[in-house]
Structure 1
Amino acid sequence: MTRPHQSSAPLLLVENLQVALPTPHGLVPAIRNIHLRLERGQTLGVIGESGSGKSITMLALMGLLPEQAQVSGSVKLNGQEMVGASDATFCGIRGNRVGMVFQDPMSALNPVQTIGRQVAEPLRLHRGLSRNAARAEAVALLTRVGIADAARRAEAYPHQFSGGQRQRITIAMALACGPDLLIADEPTTALDATLQLQILQLLRELVAERGMALILISHDLGVIAQNVDQMLVMYGGSIVERGPTAAVFQHMAHPYTRGLFAARPMIGLRAEGQRPRLPTITGHVPELQDIPPGCPFAGRCAWTEASCASTTPPALAVPVHSSGAAHTASCQPHVLRQLEATA
């Protein structure tokens, strides 16, 4: 099912999103000044180390943050402001206009309900279908995502399926009401390489079929390279680089992005009788309360200067894209110029 689109506003418009989370040290910033715009049919990838803020950003979009969290800025879905919206408003959007595929399908599924009932639930809640009509639609969805003999297996429970099948079931749940936006948070992490390819291919097909927008979160640079048109690189709750995926991969600008790419294991680089060490980013990801107010990467970056920890770096166009490609990096101008000179 696809929903008619009457608004000329972008599907998703995020401006200056900031999130503070409760910790033993009090409320500390977890997400800082996030801006993004996503149109229908676009695909966006988000990469970064664990703790960089990828999942927290998506939970903020879904209204799933802890109760004590503080959120400011603006998140508009089809022009509707979501920051400060009521629980009832979010309940009408989650599973309806926005679907989410979580990293661990076993924890996302209810172990004491059949999968047919779980896939049918959003159809009954949001579309008002009868029990029989919702079950028939659920069986069709399960068949579409590759569950064999779906009419019979709809009566089975999550533990009776493999990991790859459970992930397919959560995708069916997320797509049940024909959402405008699908958020997939590390959807292939626990799967082997063959199942990863199958799940990612399924997501591509479904996005193309239904005209949805897709936000794909992943640690895997190869997954991002092959499955999204635009990408963000996050560190310390901030976006440090963004742009068309091909442009970012071809001209990595920010020191953190370069560090991530340099640390990739590469087939064929092992010398005979040797095992060369991979380059690593010095230091470690700081705790939320220890992230500097300026550049979040200050201290781990080889180009760190005294002003980096206190001065927020501007988002600058990457010099190589004089043709106007929308590729930016948040770094000091002279550092970007020096890095470009050494590329």
Structure 2
Amino acid sequence: MSLDTLFDHFEEKELPPDLSAFIIKTCLHMRKGEDFRSSMNNVAKDLREFTDSYASCIMTISRDLYRFDVIGESVRNNEIVLQNVFDKIPYEIVESWEEMILENDSIIIKNSDDMEYYAKRSPKWVETLKENGVESLCLIPFIHQNTIIGYMYLTNFDTSNIDNIKEAITLMSIFVSSEAAHHLLIERLRSLSLIDSRTGVYNRTAMNNMVDELSAQLKLAPAPFSVAFCYLNTLKTVNEKKGHDVGNTLLKEAGKVLKEVFQNDYIYRSSGDEFAIISTTCTEDEFEEKIENLKDLASDPEWLYFTVGYYTDNTDGALHSAMKYANKYEQEFNEEFYYNYPDMIK
């Protein structure tokens, strides 16, 4: 539903006094926040309390960067942190909402029949809903310049009140959309200097900044970390034989796979066909498991193939040394790849 349609819809009807008071109060709260995220948390809290829902969430989505962000959240009694929940959810699940929303401008789940209907449309998403105890849901997009730039949703509410709940969240989406659009513009300007546009991961400048900062921290307080270098062996051959447009598609897929495997880690495009990973949250075994997962997903010598060298430092905190070791191991595996596939272009 476009903004013009929304305005026409609400212009033709008289809003209930309690809903009008809620909108005014929440818009004031949105201006009261000390920063953007605290303002959005205020909106989420007001919306959750007005609708007597268990959880309320506000998210933005950036398709060209293959990312979404939780910008506001509120959960009854602060029982869970929604950001932690969404850290485990891949971008593709959130991306799938748009197609389902096109049917009737929202996604509403009131009962098990609705849940099973959406399970057929997006089984992985519904699986996450069930895992997190969601029994009812109202999800509304917010729109800027006829483009979906984010979503607001409520969970576990009195479904007999769904019409009023949908009206409240839809109205709030109008006011949130302009704030979110401004936030996305600022974030985009910031990201342009740090994000590699072809892959959606951090660029070399961001890596250099991170290495300098983390290296200084580790010297003061050594802590376990892991690093890896991942070489995209097939890129030069694809560029030469199929053209750079196809090569750019390969880079895009490479970035997507890396972000799926190394969630919550730092991913950088360190050079044209090489990526670096820095992890400060995984154990050695967990990092090795991710490496093996990457090798399984990127083992096609005709398309996506990574050779990987990695190193874990559990005691010394010597980041530069660890990166040298990882890079050395990657180069050794790299030579082995070209020995096994002599027709590939180095």
Shorter-normalised TM range: under 0.3
TM-score by length of 2: 0.27
Larger-gyration structure (1/2): 2
Q: Which has the higher contact order (CA 8 A, sep 6+)?
A: 1
More helix by share: 2
TM-score w.r.t. the length of structure 1 is 0.27
